[in-house]
A and B are shown apart, each in its own frame.
Chain A
Amino acid sequence: MSLKSLTKDWEPMSYGFLDASAKCEIRRKTLKAIAVPGCQIPYASREVPMARGWGTGGLQISCTLINPRTTVKVIDQGADDSVNAASIRRFLSRVSGAPTTTDTLKADLIQSRHRIPEEKLREDQVLVLQVPNPEPLRPVQPNMSIARQMHADADYGRMWLQLYEQIVRSGRVMQGASYPSLVHGRFVMTPSPIPRWDVPKMHMAKHLTILSAGREKRLHAVPPYTRVEPLVFDDVPYQVEEHGQLTCTRSGAKGYFMNEIPQNDGTSTYEVSDSELGIKTIQKADGDTVELGDTWYQDGEMTQ
């Protein structure tokens, strides 16, 4: 009798780096987060071979959901080819055997840092967002216990006050990324530091979004077809970044969220932030056969 004959082979038990019990716990917490949209659920954030703050929260969710048949895409600020995105993509593929892609339409699981792809996601796709700070009340209430109580009471007066103060002092809401949003009419969440441009994409979206903060050990979720409403005053409309009329200098794509590239002469050029969309646009212009999905925005305007 050998030890090997008494134990199961590890591979079918635990692909995706994390051990089975860790994944089980994260799945339970994820289900809880889906059941109570926007509510922050604490979980035992495990160590992964990456420094805290580099996407360990998102990586744990991805490791939990992934299997050898999952097609995975990883983006960082919209780009598939940044060092962080490439490292995470390679890691996920190596520990699970899952195929990778840069095409939004072909991916089953998309892990993203601070962007939602421009192409609309489907019901069978899962978006995992890396979150540095999941607590929207942090700027107004540093005490976590009191903040939890405020969430329980739906006591969001101070959040509104923060917006009021910004308009009084600056004439407009200054909150750029992490725009506080009300989920399912109950919990205010921070939708991770995605730009304001991306927040309306979460409203009644077909896909499941899971937002996970590894350092802060909390996750929350936006299930499919859930209301996500940015906090706005009735008479001060929500505004996204004014990128609708900008054109990408490399691909010619127009009406999407852009990265600003400052030039030596003081001017700026712009490149489409969703790098895969830019590549597809170039390929299409070159006459290649490319499937370009429906996009949330058309000509800079959000479609319903």
Chain B
Amino acid sequence: MMDPPQIVKTRPLLLARGVSKSFGAVKALRDVSATVYPGEVLGIVGESGSGKSTFLRCLNLEETPDEGSYTLDLPDVQGNLFDLDRYARRMLCATRIGIVYQNPHLGLLMKHSSSGNVAERLLVAGERRFHVLREKARGALDASEFPLERMDAPPIELSGGMQQRVQLAKAIALEPALLLLDEPTTGLDVSVQALVLDTLKKLQQERKITMVIVSHDLGVIRTLSDRVMVMKSGQVVEEGLADQVFQDPQHAYTQQLVHAKL
């Protein structure tokens, strides 16, 4: 008699519950919750001002919400991360969470070398061997498909697409448990967008990195995401598998978004 197939229970890596955030009278987030499983890509889509970037900043511990909890299922990481002090937040973000910003100026030191930008993350984590720093920076840049002959050029001399690759290399240098991407392809021309998306897709497939990607571009979200969360006015209006949401949108706003795209 055959044993019944075992159901493997997987715990979510990221669990955010009831996150609310106001800026004065403006309610940027209203009771937003999200669950992301290891290796999964969650896409957050919505119009400008819908609160998606604020939510991402909360996940990167740059903002502290008024209410809500946020946990990561990682060894040595316990409790509500919003309760961590500044130092613990900095160390957690430096070692476990990678982020790629829409504006490379926020994520990079524009006048330092590209390899130095990647090495900085390793230095914060305590690496003190110069040759190891070089090798690891080279590896991360290579994985981001950055031309290695330019690894010591400062980002200010690079194109927008190259700058995003440096950001990506910096974000993955320490093999983070969670990679956050805030409009990573916005402002790039279509051909460069496609190349950056290819790189992200490849990285996700090879390294099984858990990602949360924010974009107002449905094409980007559709290409990368397993699941999609649609936000409007600081609230989640629809959530589901990417294909399901895009092919059969239920909420009027999602339908409007999908049709606007089409």
Contacts and interface: CB of A to CB of B under 8 A. Distances in A.
Contacts of A234: 128-130
Contact of B113 (A155, A158, A165, A233): A165
B179 interface: no
Given A155-B90, A157-B120, A157-B123, A164 B133 contact: yes
A160 interface: yes
A168 interface: yes
Given A153-B87, A165-B113, A235 B120 contact: no
A165 B123 contact: no
Contacts of A157: 94, 120, 123-124
A235 B116 CA distance: 17
A285 interface: no
Given A153-B87, A157-B120, A168-B152, A233 B128 contact: yes
A233 B130 CA distance: 6
Contacts of B119: 161, 164
Interface string A209-234: 00000000000000000000000011
Interface string A168-202: 11000000000000000000000000000000000
B86 A153 contact: yes
B98 to A, nearest CB: 15
Contacts of B130: 164, 167, 233-236
A157 B120 CA distance: 6
B129 A164 contact: no
Contacts of B116: 161, 164-165, 168
Contacts, number: 46
B251 interface: no
A233 B122 CA distance: 13
Nearest to A157: B124
Contacts of A149: 86
Nearest to A155: B90
Interface residues of A, number: 16
Contacts of A235: 129-132
B1 to A, nearest CB: 60
B123 A153 contact: no
B225 interface: no
A165 B112 contact: yes
A155 B93 CA distance: 13
B115 interface: yes
Interface in B98-141: 109, 112-113, 115-116, 119-120, 123-124, 128-133
Contacts of B109: 161
Interface string A237-249: 0000000000000
Given A153-B86, A153-B87, A161 B120 contact: yes
Contacts of A158: 120
Nearest to A152: B87
A74 B123 CA distance: 40
Contacts of A236: 130
A217 B240 CA distance: 60
A168 B115 contact: yes
Contacts of B132: 235
Nearest to A153: B87
Contacts of B112: 161, 165
Interface in A40-73: none
A168 B113 contact: yes
Contacts of B124: 155, 157
A160 B123 contact: yes
A234 B112 CA distance: 22
B129 A233 contact: yes
Contacts of B133: 164, 233
A168 B113 CA distance: 8
Nearest to A150: B90
Interface in B74-104: 86-87, 90, 94
Interface string B127-167: 01111110000000000000000001000000000000000
Nearest to A149: B86
Contacts of B86: 149, 153
A11 B141 CA distance: 69
Given A234-B129, A235-B130, A236-B130, A161 B115 contact: no
A149 B123 CA distance: 18
A138 B77 CA distance: 33
Nearest to A233: B130
18 contacts: A149-B86, A153-B87, A155-B124, A157-B94, A157-B120, A158-B120, A160-B123, A161-B123, A164-B119, A165-B112, A165-B113, A168-B116, A169-B113, A233-B128, A233-B129, A233-B133, A234-B129, A235-B132
Given A157-B94, A233-B133, 5 more contacts: A160-B128, A161-B120, A161-B123, A165-B116, A168-B113
**Which 5 residue pairs spanning A and B have beta carbons closest together?**
A157-B124, A233-B130, A160-B123, A157-B123, A234-B129
